[in-house]
Structure 1
Amino acid sequence: MDTEIRPCSPLSFFLLFFLFSSLNIQHCGATDSISLGQSLSGNQTIVSKEGKFELGFFTPGNSRNYYIGIWYKTIPVQTVVWVANRATPISNTSSAELKISEDGKLVLLNISKIPVWSSNSTPSTSNSTVAVLLDTGNLVIRNGSNTTIWQSFDHPTDTWMPGGWLGVNKITEEYQSMTSWENRENPAPGPFAHSMDPDGSNQFVLLWNGSEIYWSGGLWNGQYFTAVPSTRESTPFNFTFVDNKQRKYAMYTIRDSSFITRCVIESSGLLKQLYWLNGAQEWQAIFTQPSAQCDVYSLCGAFGICDQKSSNICRCSYGFEPASMEEWEFNVWKSGCVRKTSLRCSNKSSTGGEGDRFVEMTNMRLPANPQNLTVGSARDCEQACLNSCSCNAYAYVSGCSIWNGDIRNLQQLYDGDSAAGTLHLRLSASDFPASMSSVEFLGSRVFSSD
């Protein structure tokens, strides 16, 4: 029996047209670019041409904040490699939008249509200005002449991608650095950074608070960085170092395009080169520095003690407690510890009560940057500390050293370690057991200042 083919009715034609139009809209939502007049909002994303990376709104962990980020499209564990508004989250994406502005910048508008982030790219009034997500994970903005006027690789967050660069712009003196997240649910800049050495030498360093160097990668010797084995020619990485009139920077690429890797500075202050292990469906570290986590400067924050042999690597000194329990639950200790009881700032109180005392902390790595005093004995050193309201600790090792203000980078060492010393930490007398003049606590002894 022959099949009769009938022309579509006007209603059927309209329904088919509506259906294909809807499909076309969905397809456009999965393109790799945002042009003038287009925007992203809600759960809309763009995907790089070969489907390797995706850009859109995301919420890290259990956070209720939203950010614009780029992550691997083909990896089941969401791994964000770049964040736009890392310090300015938004609370709702239904009315927020990412778009190209009239002057050619990529801007993120919150629900009140107020810009909370901008690419600050070179102004372009061309209607052809477009933001494109590349298969390298780089987001670029191109003007009508197809010239790149801005790219995310110039503004890394905590991740250094193959093809990206780190270094310094000699003209603007701006450093191109990686900065850790605050914690796994907050991509705001943390205290740790991976940067070129601020002193101008041809090496990369890890920095705390932009000032304290706690690891260096060694100088570039013309082929590799001497303290970084992964920069040698026999590895899957191809490193280059450029030093010209405009910039001084390092860049790495991958010899095998199927090898998925990234370099990240974690909230813990550790620098890791990771690669995706497809069989195990997880990221595997092939390079970690520093090798001992307690070598991260101020890992446990002010008055925190780092203990490499303990299951809980950070703890508070005796007489102190965590400044932020929420932070410590993330295994991030930036805020450190605070005193349970304020110091009296005297030997005796005005009412005749007991003054401050010292806890003797043995086998400790002594803090950096002491103030050295010329005194005749350990007792004189103790008294000098008591006489200063800002003095929080002293040590007497063939001479007197005192520490004012916050004490950082404390580490518990063990018998036989040549770097071990004894630190006397100042406490309020009320933090001591009332019936005892000394008490053993985690390798420490407490003594009255009398």
Structure 2
Amino acid sequence: MFILFLFSLLLSQHHCAEVYNISSSQPLAQGQTLVSPGHIFELGFFSPNNSTNKYVGIWHKTIFPRKVVWVANREKALSVTDTLASLTINSNGNLELVDGKQSSIWSTNISVPSNGSAALLFDSGNFVVQDDIGAQLWRSFDYPGDTLLPMMLLGFDNKFGKRDVLTAWKSESDASTGLFSVGLAPQIPTQMVIRINGSTPYWRSGLWDKATFLGIPGMNDEYLSGLNLDDNVQQGTKYFSFFFNRILAYMEISYKGTLKLMYSEHGENWNLDWEAQKNPCDHYGICGPFGVCKASESPICKCLKGFKPKSQEEWSKGNRARGCVRKTKLFCRSNTSQSVPSRGKQDGFLKMSSVNLPDFHEYISRYSAEDISNLGAEECKVKCIGERKQIKLMVSLIAVCFISILAGIVFSLHRLRSNQKRNVKVTPKDSEMADTIETSRDALLHEYIRKHDPSELVIYDFDSISIATSDFSITNKLGEGGFGPVYRGKLQEGKEIAVKRLSSSSVQGIEEFKNEMRLISKLQHKNLVRLMGCCIKDDEKLLIYEFMPNKSLDTLLFSPMRRAELDWAKRFNIIQGVARGLLYLHHDSCLKVIHRDLKVSNILLDEKMSPKISDFGLARIFEGTQNLANTQKVVGTLGYMSPEYAMGGIFSEKSDIYSFGVLLLEIIGGRKNTSFYYHDQELGLIAYAWHSWNEGRGLDLVDDVLADSYSPSEVMRCVHIGLLCVQDDAADRPTMPDVVFMLSRETDRPQPKRPIFTFRSSVSDPQPQYNNICSANEDTITLLQGR
């Protein structure tokens, strides 16, 4: 396990002077630090423990033990006794580190000179040199060290010959380049590979499956939201990045060769998210060619069936690097060939489960999805045997078969943990192993369909759902919306479910049903409701979800009897959870999704009061760099629709952000936007919130039931952010990364503009109405006509 090392600053932090930019007239001297605007990151001089070296580096400002995330002068350290070194902008506009004798130690080497250059540190941790008009001339993110920060890129650009890898330190006290590096492999699908001295494989992550790397068990569902791989075959680029919902995070390759992802949820200390190389089988090729590693057994290595140790003597001594060899020769002919003697033993297939996919593979794209779906097990075997090639192990995550080499090597094969099962079939000769390998048709089709089609969901029998809901009894009815009623149920094995039943009279509901199946089956995040399966029988169309015991947020928030159950801590947690869910939809998932119907009744609460965004029937996918769309069919809910969408049919991620702003203000006040009416000034909720905040009375918006139990600073922060989100001009609204960042800490925020478009209640009673508060009275509308 990698030990986060402590390092000591030359001067006590309490005596360091903070600056916010470096220029030719304002160099950074020792005893000073450059600080990012939100005080997230800090740059300065430091010396690692037990070291005589001194470096310029960046670290998180408030989290201890401090973790250096980038070093400028890795290969040319200053002496710890040099107290006159400084970092400055030189005469040609370059950022330069000079020692006490004014000799150059390190420089940005910008080829385009600029007289007005300045260096700034952003809250992302990106250290930037920019010219006098703000154009960026150099970025530290383009020169990674041993640490990957959120929004940094790890990968390569073949067109420009650029390859970004993380390189470990030489030791705990020496920041120069060490033995280990990690980067992306060029094959398709790709994987991360740790190498020794840039060449010898040491560890691999397993193949990328559009959500995670298959060989890292710690990449569980809770943290999948931020991982992204951009693979552009035409442009020859492949980049991995992440934007962790917990904001402060980093991925690091240590000087010992371990790779891990760390996060800080509250900005106080570092926690481990996942770690590679957790057992001996994670090390590359530990059992040699044709060997299988299983950490739970002793010895951990054994030969594949039909193989034996190449050297029994060395194998017995624990030296298994030479691996295994075949006991008997392979026929090297197709089983269908007439040249195979009838009395001979033919090649066959043997199923192996829970095995990591073998290394050294070539992607096969010659088969279409239709070909695969019609490809039976026997046809697959024929293709696998008939297309064996010399010297190559050919692998396809789409084309069903693994076609092995005749004289090649199946290398770095080890069994996965039980929750990561992959089925693999191998070809033995009469119960003995040959080296033709085929992944099971079901497993690969399952992976393919999971990424392309909702039919990978469990298909439930209608009778079992009918029994689970007591024949859709009114006593099990949880609510009803424009789609149709939702029922509580309990499956035979005891698992509770929520069943959304399509109303047979709703034409729009059919499209919602298709859209929701197509979309939500591709999305995985802890703040999105999980679709378990579906049921289609005749006119009956059902969606089966995980059951949320605390129902929808509106049943608590707008209930005079129950809203006191939502104290401020719970409300703030709900706000942050919904924000993280939207961040995933807009930026972090494999699809860019605009929800279009975000509202209180579509936020479900689990047993821990954690929020789950639901109802994706109206959601839309944006392709590539698409940022907005226009529709003649305006759908959504009055009170939550942004002005540009309600009046012009234009929607984008900023439409969802407007809805989030309304939802945020409703959560603070415990009042519905569509029923709030401040009689003294005839103001709706948004206008009242803005006037109260503008006059320094933002706390007037707070729900009375919270009394004095809330944090005034958090409430004012949320009111401010809510008003930024509901600004009339979409361009003025923040993005979800901005919102999540602002929610997480106190930082500078722009002033919200006075709203012009606000919802005015038509009710005559000046007090909020609680007699009609169910989700059914917040029906989603189409063409601005209620259903």
Please state which band the TM-score falls in when normalised by the shorter chain: 0.5 to 0.7
The 2-side partners of 1:74 and 1:195 are apart by 29
User: In structure 2, what residue type is equivalent to 1:124?
Assistant: P
- Equivalences for residues 46-195 of structure 1 within 5 A: 46-91=34-79, 92-127=81-116, 129-195=117-183
Which residue in 1 is equivalent to 2:275? Answer: 288
TM-score by length of 2: 0.33
8 Å Cα contact 2:185/2:192 also seen in 1: yes
8 Å Cα contact 2:20/2:34 also seen in 1: yes
The 2-side partners of 1:152 and 1:28 are apart by 23
The 2-side partners of 1:148 and 1:369 are apart by 52
Which residue in 2 is equivalent to 1:253? Answer: 243
The 2-side partners of 1:70 and 1:60 are apart by 13
Equivalent pairs counted in the alignment come to 284
> Please, which of 312, 320, 327 is the counterpart of residue 366 of structure 1?
320
Which has the higher relative contact order, 1 or 2, with Cα contacts under 8 A spaced 6 or more apart?
Answer: 1
The 2-side partners of 1:172 and 1:369 are apart by 39
Shift of 1:231: 6.0
The 2-side partners of 1:190 and 1:211 are apart by 13
The 1-side partners of 2:236 and 2:129 are apart by 22
8 Å Cα contact 2:219/2:274 also seen in 1: no
Question: Higher mean Cα deviation, 181-190 or 166-175?
Answer: 166-175
Describe the shift of the 1:67–1:166 C-alpha distance in structure 2 as closer, same or farther (beyond 3 A): same
Q: Secondary structure at the match of 1:235?
A: helix
Question: Higher mean Cα deviation, 288-297 or 53-62?
Answer: 288-297
Shift of 1:366: 3.4
8 Å Cα contact 2:17/2:31 also seen in 1: no
Q: Secondary structure at the match of 1:261?
A: strand
The 2-side partners of 1:215 and 1:89 are apart by 30
Give 5+ residue unaligned stretches, structure 1.
1-25, 300-307, 310-358, 371-450
The 2-side partners of 1:227 and 1:204 are apart by 10
Deviations 1:317-358 (A, max 9, x none): xxxxxxxxxxxxxxxxxxxxxxxxxxxxxxxxxxxxxxxxxx
The 1-side partners of 2:40 and 2:180 are apart by 29
The 2-side partners of 1:221 and 1:45 are apart by 42
Question: Higher mean Cα deviation, 235-244 or 160-169?
Answer: 235-244
Deviations 1:343-391 (A, max 9, x none): xxxxxxxxxxxxxxxx989532334699xxxxxxxxxxxxxxxxxxxxx
Deviations 1:174-197 (A, max 9, x none): 210111111111111111111111
Shift of 1:166: 0.4
The 2-side partners of 1:235 and 1:140 are apart by 29
The 1-side partners of 2:90 and 2:285 are apart by 42
Shift of 1:40: 1.4
Describe the shift of the 1:220–1:298 C-alpha distance in structure 2 as closer, same or farther (beyond 3 A): closer
8 Å Cα contact 1:46/1:55 also seen in 2: yes
Describe the shift of the 1:74–1:242 C-alpha distance in structure 2 as closer, same or farther (beyond 3 A): same
Shift of 1:117: 1.1
The 1-side partners of 2:51 and 2:285 are apart by 26
- Say whether residues 1:218 and 2:206 are aligned partners: yes
User: In structure 2, what residue type is equivalent to 1:105?
Assistant: N
Q: Secondary structure at the match of 1:153?
A: helix
Describe the shift of the 1:362–1:282 C-alpha distance in structure 2 as closer, same or farther (beyond 3 A): farther
User: In structure 2, what residue type is equivalent to 1:37?
Assistant: S
Shift of 1:46: 0.8
**Percent identical across equivalent pairs?**
32
8 Å Cα contact 1:270/1:288 also seen in 2: yes
8 Å Cα contact 1:175/1:196 also seen in 2: no
Q: Secondary structure at the match of 2:141?
A: helix
8 Å Cα contact 2:64/2:269 also seen in 1: no
Which residue in 1 is equivalent to 2:385? Answer: none
Shift of 1:135: 0.9
Describe the shift of the 1:112–1:167 C-alpha distance in structure 2 as closer, same or farther (beyond 3 A): same
8 Å Cα contact 1:269/1:296 also seen in 2: no
Shift of 1:284: 2.7
Higher strand fraction: Structure 1 or Structure 2? 1
Deviations 1:215-246 (A, max 9, x none): 22233333433334566764264222223326
Q: Secondary structure at the match of 1:365?
A: coil
The 2-side partners of 1:46 and 1:121 are apart by 21
Shift of 1:71: 0.7
8 Å Cα contact 1:270/1:296 also seen in 2: no
Shift of 1:199: 5.4
Give 5+ residue unaligned stretches, structure 2.
1-13, 287-294, 297-312, 325-787
8 Å Cα contact 1:31/1:49 also seen in 2: no
Shift of 1:203: 2.0
8 Å Cα contact 1:230/1:237 also seen in 2: no
8 Å Cα contact 1:212/1:297 also seen in 2: no
Shift of 1:271: 0.4
The 1-side partners of 2:323 and 2:75 are apart by 32
Deviations 1:383-423 (A, max 9, x none): xxxxxxxxxxxxxxxxxxxxxxxxxxxxxxxxxxxxxxxxx
Shift of 1:64: 1.8
8 Å Cα contact 2:218/2:275 also seen in 1: no
User: In structure 1, what residue type is equivalent to 2:48?
Assistant: P
Q: Secondary structure at the match of 2:78?
A: coil
Which of these two proteins has the greater Rg computed from alpha carbons? Answer: 2
Shift of 1:68: 0.3
User: In structure 1, what residue type is equivalent to 2:318?
Assistant: M
Q: Secondary structure at the match of 2:52?
A: coil
8 Å Cα contact 1:236/1:255 also seen in 2: no
The 2-side partners of 1:33 and 1:238 are apart by 30
Describe the shift of the 1:202–1:122 C-alpha distance in structure 2 as closer, same or farther (beyond 3 A): farther
- Say whether residues 1:267 and 2:252 are aligned partners: no
Shift of 1:285: 2.0
The 1-side partners of 2:318 and 2:158 are apart by 42
Shift of 1:173: 1.7
Which residue in 1 is equivalent to 2:446? Answer: none
TM-score by length of 1: 0.57
The 2-side partners of 1:209 and 1:274 are apart by 25
8 Å Cα contact 1:86/1:187 also seen in 2: yes
Higher helix fraction: Structure 1 or Structure 2? 2
The 2-side partners of 1:50 and 1:139 are apart by 14
Which residue in 2 is equivalent to 1:413? Answer: none
The 2-side partners of 1:115 and 1:262 are apart by 31
The 2-side partners of 1:296 and 1:48 are apart by 39
Shift of 1:283: 2.8
8 Å Cα contact 1:105/1:123 also seen in 2: no
User: In structure 1, what residue type is equivalent to 2:90?
Assistant: S
The 2-side partners of 1:29 and 1:178 are apart by 31
Describe the shift of the 1:283–1:250 C-alpha distance in structure 2 as closer, same or farther (beyond 3 A): same
The 2-side partners of 1:254 and 1:141 are apart by 26
Describe the shift of the 1:262–1:28 C-alpha distance in structure 2 as closer, same or farther (beyond 3 A): closer
User: In structure 2, what residue type is equivalent to 1:136?
Assistant: S
User: In structure 2, what residue type is equivalent to 1:133?
Assistant: L
The 1-side partners of 2:69 and 2:42 are apart by 10
Describe the shift of the 1:293–1:40 C-alpha distance in structure 2 as closer, same or farther (beyond 3 A): farther
